[in-house]
Structure 1
Amino acid sequence: MLKPHYYIGLPEWRHPDWYAEGKNPKEPLKIYSQHFSTVEGNTTFYALPNPDTVQAWDESVPDGFRFCFKFPKAITHEAMLQYCSNEVGEYLNRLSPLGDKLGVLWLQMSSAFTPDQLSALQRFLENLPEGFNYGIEVRNIGFFAKDDLQKRFNQLLLKHNINRVMFDTRVLFANPAPDADSQRALVEKPRLPMHVVATGDYPMLRFMSPMDLGLSEVALDQWANKTIQWMDEGKTPYVFFHTPYKAPVPDLAQRFSKKVAKLRADIDPITLWERQPQQT
């Protein structure tokens, strides 16, 4: 895979409903990485992989692929970024054999982490080892107030070249659906304002669509234009796609990639493996 102008991926690299009947691959990560250039890594939120697993991941993907692993919850949710240098070191040391295949390593904070804890965040960022790209997603409404605290937060991220992760759930909440997966997402996912800001060199967007992908067309157009703008500014965006039930999410990503390709002739849209027919 050629080095992309932006990275595009999904929350995971396998799902049973992503493949045509009888086409479930024996090496799902290898197949996934032939079509997508990055993946969110949620497993590290719960437990670190063993060294053999890290080596297997490394051997399964091409050089241009990027893993974006989430920091462990022991750091973000339990320690709340305080007194956790050993845990940070263990996390980075475990993943460092992946080398250049590491993308944005990101902190997903709970809503309990507030702007009142900016001093803890500042100390944490000042002590992060160099040589990695970092991001942070905040979920407390106080970080979206357009006041001095939010300004200080963004300036802190700018100072340390930390990417503010944007999670766009607006279309999901604007179009509530009655199915169980959508209802669960409406309860579990954050409903927050969308502040489009690039505080680092690798803007990171997480976009969640309703199950009816057509409802996201306008938003995808807007994000495609923003992605092009970031690239024109010399940044390298990471864009990830979500749906309440993951079956159609590869198709959502492909829709977006086609929109970007229409705007930039030098960027090809992604292709997909043989898929189950999707009712979207």
Structure 2
Amino acid sequence: MEFGKLPDISKVNFSLPEDASGTAETLRKYNKSEKFHFYIGCTGWSMKEWVGTYYPAGTKPEGFLRAYGKQFNTIELNTTHYRIPSPEQIQNWRKDTPADFRFCPKVPQLLSHSRDLGISNPLFLNFCEVTAQLEEKLGACFLQLPPHFGLQQAGILERFVERWPKELPLNVEMRHESWFEGVANERENAFGMLAKAGVGTVLTDVAGRRDVLHMHLTSSVAMIRFVGNALHPSDYNRIQDWIPRLRRWYEAGLQEVYFFTHEPDNLLAPELAAYLHQSLLPFPEIVARGPEKITTDAAGQMSLF
């Protein structure tokens, strides 16, 4: 992900911001669950570079999703940003993934980057209908607002949310600075609108745009897009900082987390995801699954370690 990347991160303050004013109020609406469901994933499964490390040696492209599903339990489904899958593709994806796997489809760019967020486009209902066919394997959809879509257009977002089917979980990513620096009461009204509708937000942790890490939760589902810097030591420190914050939110009522690791070209994303999973193991209340490297022993047998 190119958004927010910097050539030099030496002067970036990577500390997590304090919670936004509305986060505690949002979480109070939800009862603490017995288990904290934590989904860890990347942004695609078609990575031939993972064959022999995170996919078994000899894995063919048609087997990549099955191999991915054995290592991760969610995916930031960027393919839907560019085209709506067919019902046949949806059924194949469901068949090729384990029971605990969740897809997080991105709203198509034809909708999200149009003037009215696509609510007048017939593809709006088409996308919703196809996405619903994921059934129990649907995690949370996410709407990535275009960079020019500012707080002054909150009314358009509200109309999108009103039309969005209530049975499809949704999280929204804002990028325009006005969502974080605009008039305070207008910002609170906009986030309050999302909270009232049960629509969540996306928190993007990236070096060059610390404002988009706004820490404003508006539902019981947190979606985090974590952009690393080629496994720089700060990547691991940032992961460690997230864990107590997320556990605190769980104690307050958060139900689910979708945590997506990004690295340059995504070749190293599984390394960061594996570190996150290992860091969660000491906490029995967290239900998580993460990747492990595959190795071949002297007898030629493959195993995970």
With normalisation by structure 1, the TM-score equals 0.84
Q: Go from structure 1 to structure 2 and tell me whether the alpha carbon gap of 1:98 and 1:269 turns closer, same or farther (over 3 Å shift).
A: closer
- Please, which moves more after superposition, 160-169 or 194-203? 194-203
State the one-letter code of the partner of 2:109: K
Equivalent in the alignment of 1:197: 216
Quickly say closer, same or farther: Cα 1:48–1:269, change in 2 above 3 A: closer
Aligned partners of 1:268, 1:199: CA distance in 2, in Å? 23
1:105 corresponding residue in structure 2: 141
Contact 1:228 1:260 in 2 (8 A): no
C-alpha distance in structure 2 between counterparts of 1:222 and 1:140, whole Å: 26
Shift in CA distance, 193/39, structure 1 to aligned 2, threshold 3 Å = closer
For 2:267 and 2:129, how far apart are their aligned partners in 1? 34
1:2-44 alpha-carbon deviations (Å, 9 max, x no partner): x972111111123122222881523111111112110011111
- 2:7 maps to none
Aligned residues: 256
Q: Structure 1's 71 and 225: CA in aligned 2 closer, same or farther, altered over 3 A? A: same
Q: Is the contact between residue 167 and residue 207 of structure 1 (CA under 8 Å) also seen in structure 2?
A: yes
8 Å contact 1:76–1:107 — kept in the other structure?
Answer: yes
Structure 2: stretches of 5+ with no match in the other structure: 1-34, 297-305
Say if 1:126 and 1:85 are closer, same or farther in 2 by CA, change over 3 A.
farther
Q: Is 1:157 the equivalent of 2:189?
A: no
- Corresponding residue of 1:49: 85
Larger relative CO (CA 8 A, sep 6+): 1 or 2?
2
1:13 counterpart = 2:32: no
Q: Following TM superposition, by how much is the alpha carbon of 1:126 offset from its aligned partner in structure 2, in angstroms?
A: 1.1
How many angstroms does 1:164 deviate by? 0.6
% of aligned pairs identical?
Answer: 25
CA 1:83–1:225 in 2, change beyond 3 Å: closer, same or farther?
same
Aligned to 1:236: 256
Q: Report the structure, 1 or 2, having the larger helix content.
A: 1
CA offset digits 1:171-207 (Å, max 9, x no partner): xx4xxxxxxxxxxxxxxxx563421122111110000
Match of 2:124 in 1: 88
**What is the rounded CA distance, in whole Å, between the counterparts of 2:112 and 2:212 in structure 1?**
22
Q: Contact 1:71–1:105 at 8 Å: present in 2 too? A: yes
Q: Does 1:260 align with 2:297?
A: no
Aligned counterparts of 1:268 and 1:105: Cα–Cα separation in 2:
20
Counterpart in the other structure of 2:238:
219
RMSD: 2.3
Shift of 1:238: 0.9
Matched letter for residue 266 of structure 2: K
AA paired with 1:215? S
1:23 to 57, 78, 88: 57
Q: What is residue 114 of structure 1 aligned with on the other side?
A: 150
Q: Distance in 2 between matches of 1:148 and 1:77?
A: 26
Counterpart CA distance in 2 for 1:268 and 1:17 is: 25
Alpha-carbon distance change, 251 to 269 in structure 1, aligned in 2, over 3 angstroms: same
Partner of 1:185: none
Check whether the contact 1:16–1:24 (CA below 8 A) recurs between aligned residues: no
What is the aligned counterpart of 1:168 among 205, 212, 220?
205
Alignment TM-score, normalising by the size of structure 2: 0.77
Q: How far does residue 153 in structure 1 lie from its aligned partner after superposition?
A: 1.7
1:33–1:213 Cα change, 3 Å:
farther
